[in-house]
Amino acid sequence: MKFIDAVLLGDAPLDSIYDYREAWDETGPESGAFHEYIGLLWPEYAMWVEDATVLECIVMARRANVLLSEYLKQRRGTDPRYDIYWDLCRRY
């Protein structure tokens, strides 16, 4: 099961992403790109690399069944972190 799916099902905490990284390191390149291995879209992954705290928003967007960019666009101006994430999102 991919990391994001496990989190959405409540079977894994957000910080277990590092356990998935260790597991991916052990499997080698045959398991594909890391962002695919954990179930993140490339823009989500790129944002997480720059700011790991965005992971919570990625999960909330998935729960709302919308793209992260749409989720952040809808929340701009409601919390400074959404504005920061929105600016980051626009790079990808």
Task: Give me the phi and psi of 2, to 5 degrees please.
Answer: -70, 155
Residues spanned by the domain of 14: 3-89
Total number of domains in the chain = 1
Q: How confident is the model at residue 30 (pLDDT cuts 50, 70, 90)?
A: confident
CA angle 54–72–56, rounded 5-degree value? 25
* DSSP code string of 24-75: HHHH-GGG--HHHHHT--HHHHHHHHH-GGGHHHHHHHHHTTS-HHHHHHHH
pLDDT (0 to 100) of residue 92: 85
pLDDT (0 to 100) of residue 72: 96
Chain mean pLDDT for the chain: 94
pTM of the model as a whole: 0.90
Residue 1 makes CB contacts below 8 A (sequence gap 6+) with: 9, 11
